[in-house]
Structure 1
Amino acid sequence: MRSRKTSGRNALPQHRRPRSQSLPPPAEATHLRDRLLADIAGQEEPRELGQLLADLELPRSERGPLKRLLNELVDQGQLQLHKKRYLPASGDNGLLQATVSFSPRGYAFALMDGITRPGQDPFITPQGLAGAQHNDQVLVRLEPSRSGRSEARVVRILQRGTTSLCGIFTSGGRSGWVLPDDERLPFSVLIRKGNSLNAPNGSAVQVEIITYPATPGGQAEGKVLRVLGDPNLPAVQFLLSILRFSLQEHYPQAVLAEVDRLVPLVAPEPGRKDLRQLPHVTIDGESARDFDDAIAVIAEDDGFTLHVSIADVSHYVRPGSQLDQEAYLRGTSVYLPDRVLPMLPERLSNDLCSLVPHQDRPTLTCTIRFDRSGGRRAIELCRSMIHSRHRLTYNQVHGLLSGQSTPPPELEDIMPMLQAAGHLADLLNHRRLGRGSIGFTLPEPEIQLNAEGIITDIRRRERNPAHQLIEEFMLAANEAVAETLDRRGLPFLFRIHERPDPLKVAAFSESAAALGLRLPPPTPSPEPVWFAKVLHAAASGPTAYVVNNLMLRTMQQARYAPENKGHFGLAATWYTHFTSPIRRYPDLMVHRALTAMFAAEAADTAQGHLPLSEAGTFLSRRERISVEVERDVQARCAALFMQERIGEEFAAVISGISSFALFVELTDYFVSGALLVQDLPRDNYQHDPTSHKLYGLQRGTSWHLGDLVRVRLVKVDQQSRRLNFCLADE
């Protein structure tokens, strides 16, 4: 007997309705909507209803509810319907593209444009990651904040950011595992025996990920691509850093073939000014091989003429070429203790473009005329050909100008020029500091290796007045070029440094007061001169390094942008990077803008129609990666160098204080570490963040920023590159 038909939408009681006809709970509905929007947004072609069911792995019984949801999204303008196929609407559907970034402590954040903004990036809870890992490209939806900070939830993983990783291989019989070298990858990787490449136990390896962990802290599976060697060797640690940051060790053959076809320019062509008669010299470090810049200073009755001539890389690297595309992707040269990963192949960086002595080289020259007090009177820019007379070093020039060394006969002809250069540099430095330019004096590490590649020392790199001489001339040229291009209305990338956050300034002011510095209170938005006064007040005391470090953290990061927002740190209205096109791509772009100006062409044509805003963001990111690599390598070297010094005592200065540790910088070595509160003498310790001190309630012992302490090294963790100390008298 045929069953009787029911009539009406409510013929079945509510509790007996088929599941496919009921609406999902609100949270599930939201997640389904986001998955649907993300799926359609990630497809190259419009999707039919049946395809979407398959994409979302929904049963056919959900066809009706899914169609109703699709129609709702079409009605809301979040999707378009064309011939029964669904495609993204042109408007905003509430989903944003982001990069997932993990901190070393395991917290995840969404970087909305690939650049981190500490304290502002939306937080992603472990439940909101949806299997995403560090550096993955994802679609996210911003969620209502529950903690005062914006939150995001991953809706779809668009592209994995980590397809291979490095780590230490541990053999486990029939299989093994690799613990990633990067703390931001919080999982282990299972390596089955057939995928191990017979890697020795404890060796450093590079691994391809086959399957990703579903949850944070889960386990991935992979196979060994490359056995790197003994992780206790510095060269292996450098290689680990190179691979961690996906730096390129070699050039594509197409690029090298293009470089081989380049023809050297050995004589001035039409439009290039012959400046070979000027006494140009280069001044660099002892180990430098790529010479971007040469200077010549002429003393005159009414002042000085400064010539800053920069290698004309744009003559050889043409927009859109294979060489140009590779240079852009690299963005900058990266300097490691035992090698350089150059932006340009060696034939260019060390030969055709390098301003080596006694060779004619094409350049762009910025000629600036100054009065007797160092005031700028005129600027002239041109394409040029120069002939460097000498390759000098900073130490050599310092010795000559200070009278500590006698000039050899071959340098006597340039001594008047060097003396004029020293005088002009002093004038420029005095004027720059007088306008409020902040004179940071943060030291840089110098990692020394012996012939076997073993680390023998990690020292603070020495600076002398010759470094300042070149710095002043490069700053003057960069400002002059930026002002000239901007006044001509030509598009180019400025080097901008925006005002610091007032809240950070207030916190820094409190820190300076806690260090005993007497300063006028800052205005809500102080000028650079206020910060310069702080550094001056601290310059002669033991806390100078701490003050410089705290101030640097207060500042925003400088970046490249097509809009001029000035350079706060230099107190400069106009600033760009013009002086290092061999190792920085933004400088090459500025050279192309100048070349377009000389030829009265459109600057965007000279750049190959590369969008400046996009280039500024990308090249700023490449620069920050380079800085991260250098810090990573320094930490690796410190861990290797100090491994043999466990139990030794060192003098140190307290550079930071938190509720769980005192952070110290050693005074004899450029090495930092921590004294955990649990390793301090037994007491009930309290942290006062306002006065930046840690004190014990029972004994009354206290520690402040800038205090000198004697510490003993107790532990080195090579995996995390952390050094733990204790007080030497404990």
Structure 2
Amino acid sequence: MELKETIKNIVNDKKYKPMSFKQFAYLLDIRDNAEKDFLREVLRQLEQNSFLISYENKYYKANGGSLISGLLQITSGGFGFVLVDNADDIFISSENLSGALNGDEVLVQIIKEIKPHFEGRIVKIVKNNNKNLLGTFYKTKRGGYINADNKGITKDVYISEKSAKDAQSKDRVVFEIIKKISAEKLEGRVLYILGAADKKGVDIKGVVINNDIKYKFDEDVIKQAEGIKADIDLQDKSRVNLIGRNIFTIDALTAKDMDDAVSIEIKDDNYVLGVHIADVSYYVKKNTPLDKEAYERGNSTYFPDYAIPMLPHSLSGDICSLRAEQPRLAVSAVMTIDKTGNVLEYEIFKSIIKSKKKMTYTGVQTVLDDVMYEDDDYKNFKKEILLMDELSDILNRRREKRGSIDFDMPEAEAIVDDEGNPILIKKSERLKSHKIIEEFMLLANETVAEHIFWLNYPCIYRVHDNPEAEKMADLKEVLLSMGYKINPANMHPKKISELLSSIKDKPEEDLLKNIVLRSMQRAVYHNKNTGHFGIAAKYYTHFTSPIRRYSDLIVHRILAEILAGNTEQYLYSDEELAEISRHISKTERISVKAEREVMRIKMAKYLSDKIGTQYKAVISHITSNGFFVELENLIEGFVPFSYLDDYYVSDLKRYLFYNERSGKTYKLGEVVSVKLKEVNIIDGKCIFVFSSKEEKINEDISV
């Protein structure tokens, strides 16, 4: 057996404990210098291949051994999480950051399990993130200092006059650390000035930079994109010409990157549903500047008043977008479906389409509600819209029957003015028209996934593993505390679905859905199809959004190879797909984090002039030092025990807290009256306290 394989077997043994070079040499009976040099080289190679990690003269197994590597993301609360490939995030308290900064690549040692996360201690910074740090600049006679947003930097950073550029007091700036003057004193340099905190776009740019999301396109990418023309050969024999078909898009009013269109008709008493997706892969070829840029970004990122596209606007908002009355290249999945929702047959092919109309969700809803149409054109599509409504109900019942979980949770929506200031925070509206398109996209994704799977062609899948037994046991206890029961043994999605049905339209519905969702595994991309627990699907991928998701672009390229008959030599190896899956799963998580941070900032800004106002709220989470509340419009805030007039103690095992003097108990899900005490817009934090009964509750809050 080769030395490398021997070492792997030793390290993979469950009884393995981190060993030094000398211990390896002794165990392997390596004595002379030449053999020792060879051993060092093999160990070095195993480090390079990310199998081993060297720390304090001992070799640890990477990801799964005593030390775990990952990317540190520090929250506004000062604590952090280490993002690990294909595993839950690891909680890091502020005391265990060990000087690491947001965005650092780190090694973590697991120290205990704090449900629902493991807790760790950072033991080594593998790669520093000393650049593109964010903070607020304050001017002094000799330059100034920066109060860093990064909670890993606990002291103000000194900035010399030369390094301050033209920053003014209270400007938001991007800076780098250039010198460690002492153990507690850092010197930095302003890289560029974002501007005053209340200037339009500064809040979003700060979050984008803090999360290392690229928002500018390189010149070679722009140049390639601008060189692409929308010239379409209507006589192209390799495509099916569907320009005469009644095809249309349904999207938000402001949508520009329209990558899906639909068509529907009845044939032989069956539904014929067409899902037509922009053929982005025709324009964005593998290993080109555009492709490399799309891979790096992984996906588009959306904020209330700003979007960071995966592809330049000339593609995402024009050439690839399925704009009305303009011929566009597409990949079509046309499915024949019976009255019970079974797909009897399907075709997947390259096509040329022309959307007959850009419909909106609200416009389609007016047809469904039989009220005044958004415009007269909708009358021409009434037959198709009613057929879609009919079919979506059938597909939804079929999914429910097999156990698909319908979380369908409301999300907060920020309405902003021209300067990006929030003028309203409300629950987003979920219309039946949204659900129609959602059902059709789910079916198309399943159909494409199964098609590729049975061809045994390497691909990327969207997978959602079964929930962990321990998390289900925890969920059981939470539910019991709120008066609900669930048997965590042999968990099937149908059990979760039945639970959610039992709480429908109850006051605690949204809270419980959130709790159940947090008990699930995270859906990720993977090169192996293991099914999707949440929608109870054996085969699932992402096919329907190639303008804004790199995963879908990969799937389209693979379909193109299959349709062209190129099945002997694979476009991507399993190893390449595994690496792409890891990368885009990570970029997705970072985008979601950034989107939530911006929403919290908008929420804090919205409440900033409402200090002292009383609200009705639900207790959404309890910690050892306070509890979180959620207002009716989904704004979340924290109530620290230290801010309250009396002494409160939490009982985390029973999901409650109580007043030690009076014995008054508060449980998860309970409705309480709270008063806004303070707001930190930069951190997106809202602090509340209990309000007195005499004060009037603010009813003027959108729900």
TM-score range, shorter chain: 0.7 to 0.9
Partner amino acid for 1:682? D
Cα contact 2:334–2:346 (8 A) shared by 1: yes
2:283 to 302, 309, 316: 316
2:643 to 669, 679, 698: 679
Structure 2 match to 1:183: 151
Task: Give the Cα separation in 1 of the matches to 2:682 and 2:631.
Answer: 21
Matched, 1:651 2:616: yes
Structure 2 match to 1:247: 213
Distance 1:372 1:344, change over 3 A: same
Q: Shift of the alpha carbon at 1:646?
A: 0.6
Deviates more, 1:255-264 or 1:566-575: 255-264
SS in 1 for 2:497: helix
Structure 2 match to 1:706: 669
Cα contact 1:567–1:574 (8 A) shared by 2: yes
SS in 1 for 2:201: helix
Partner amino acid for 1:715? E
Task: Give the Cα separation in 1 of the matches to 2:292 and 2:469.
Answer: 40
Structure 1 match to 2:72: 101
Matched, 1:533 2:498: yes
Partner amino acid for 1:486? F
Matched, 1:597 2:562: yes
Task: Give the Cα separation in 2 of the matches to 1:141 and 1:230.
Answer: 37
Task: Give the Cα separation in 1 of the matches to 2:197 and 2:30.
Answer: 57
Task: Give the Cα separation in 2 of the matches to 1:154 and 1:247.
Answer: 26
Task: Give the Cα separation in 1 of the matches to 2:593 and 2:568.
Answer: 32
SS in 2 for 1:611: helix
Task: Give the Cα separation in 2 of the matches to 1:691 and 1:336.
Answer: 37
Distance 1:617 1:286, change over 3 A: same
Partner amino acid for 1:628? K
Structure 2 match to 1:14: none
Q: Shift of the alpha carbon at 1:240?
A: 0.5
Structure 1 match to 2:163: 195
Distance 1:389 1:147, change over 3 A: closer
Partner amino acid for 1:247? I
Structure 2 match to 1:438: 405
Distance 1:346 1:141, change over 3 A: closer
1:436-474 per-position Cα deviation (integer Å, ceiling 9, x unaligned): 111002212211111233211111110110000000000
Structure 2 match to 1:24: none
Distance 1:337 1:106, change over 3 A: closer
Structure 2 match to 1:726: 689
Cα contact 2:421–2:605 (8 A) shared by 1: no
Question: What TM-score results when the alignment is normalised by the length of structure 1?
Answer: 0.83
Superposition pairs of residues 256-655 of structure 1, within 5 angstroms: 256-268=222-234, 269-406=236-373, 408-517=375-484, 519=485, 521-602=486-567, 605-607=570-572, 611-655=576-620
SS in 1 for 2:363: helix
Q: Shift of the alpha carbon at 1:172?
A: 3.3
Cα contact 1:234–1:640 (8 A) shared by 2: no
Q: Shift of the alpha carbon at 1:434?
A: 1.6
Task: Give the Cα separation in 1 of the matches to 2:674 and 2:32.
Answer: 62
Q: Shift of the alpha carbon at 1:548?
A: 0.9
Cα contact 1:358–1:387 (8 A) shared by 2: yes
Structure 1 match to 2:133: 165
Task: Give the Cα separation in 2 of the matches to 1:77 and 1:587.
Answer: 54
Task: Give the Cα separation in 1 of the matches to 2:24 and 2:389.
Answer: 73
SS in 1 for 2:88: coil
Deviates more, 1:242-251 or 1:420-429: 242-251
Measured on the aligned residues, the alpha-carbon RMSD in Å equals 3.1
Partner amino acid for 1:638? M
Structure 1 match to 2:8: none
1:660 to 625, 628, 632: 625
1:336-363 per-position Cα deviation (integer Å, ceiling 9, x unaligned): 2222110011111011100000011110
Aligned length: 655
Deviates more, 1:554-563 or 1:685-694: 685-694
Deviates more, 1:378-387 or 1:573-582: 378-387
Task: Give the Cα separation in 1 of the matches to 2:624 and 2:204.
Answer: 33
Cα contact 1:265–1:362 (8 A) shared by 2: no
Cα contact 1:298–1:304 (8 A) shared by 2: yes
Cα contact 1:596–1:603 (8 A) shared by 2: no
Task: Give the Cα separation in 1 of the matches to 2:240 and 2:138.
Answer: 63
Deviates more, 1:712-721 or 1:621-630: 712-721
Matched, 1:227 2:200: no
Q: Shift of the alpha carbon at 1:633?
A: 0.3
Deviates more, 1:245-254 or 1:469-478: 245-254
Instruction: List alignment gaps of at least 5 residues for structure 2.
Output: 1-16, 47-51, 63-67, 694-703
Deviates more, 1:441-450 or 1:310-319: 441-450
Task: Give the Cα separation in 1 of the matches to 2:510 and 2:667.
Answer: 14
Q: Shift of the alpha carbon at 1:173?
A: 2.6
Question: What TM-score results when the alignment is normalised by the length of structure 2?
Answer: 0.86
Cα contact 2:476–2:488 (8 A) shared by 1: no
1:98-151 per-position Cα deviation (integer Å, ceiling 9, x unaligned): 23526546567766x5566245x899985x95x65443335x5969x6999796
Larger Rg belongs to: 1
SS in 2 for 1:525: coil
SS in 2 for 1:456: strand
Task: Give the Cα separation in 2 of the matches to 1:323 and 1:389.
Answer: 30
Partner amino acid for 2:331? L
Cα contact 1:579–1:587 (8 A) shared by 2: yes
Instruction: List alignment gaps of at least 5 residues for structure 1.
Output: 1-29, 38-67
1:464-497 per-position Cα deviation (integer Å, ceiling 9, x unaligned): 1000000000000000000000011111101000
Q: Shift of the alpha carbon at 1:167?
A: 0.5
Q: Shift of the alpha carbon at 1:241?
A: 0.8
Partner amino acid for 2:421? I
Task: Give the Cα separation in 2 of the matches to 1:77 and 1:152.
Answer: 36
Partner amino acid for 2:230? P
Partner amino acid for 2:326? Q
Cα contact 1:305–1:367 (8 A) shared by 2: yes
1:644-687 per-position Cα deviation (integer Å, ceiling 9, x unaligned): 111112221111122321211111x331101222333424x332
Q: Shift of the alpha carbon at 1:412?
A: 2.6
Cα contact 1:102–1:109 (8 A) shared by 2: yes
Q: Shift of the alpha carbon at 1:183?
A: 2.8
Q: Shift of the alpha carbon at 1:381?
A: 0.6
Task: Give the Cα separation in 2 of the matches to 1:115 and 1:83.
Answer: 35
Distance 1:83 1:426, change over 3 A: closer
Task: Give the Cα separation in 1 of the matches to 2:602 and 2:269.
Answer: 52
Distance 1:207 1:78, change over 3 A: farther
Task: Give the Cα separation in 2 of the matches to 1:373 and 1:248.
Answer: 46
Task: Give the Cα separation in 1 of the matches to 2:532 and 2:568.
Answer: 23
Q: Shift of the alpha carbon at 1:152?
A: 6.9
Task: Give the Cα separation in 2 of the matches to 1:214 and 1:493.
Answer: 49
Task: Give the Cα separation in 2 of the matches to 1:686 and 1:359.
Answer: 64
Cα contact 2:542–2:555 (8 A) shared by 1: yes
1:299-319 per-position Cα deviation (integer Å, ceiling 9, x unaligned): 234220100000000000000
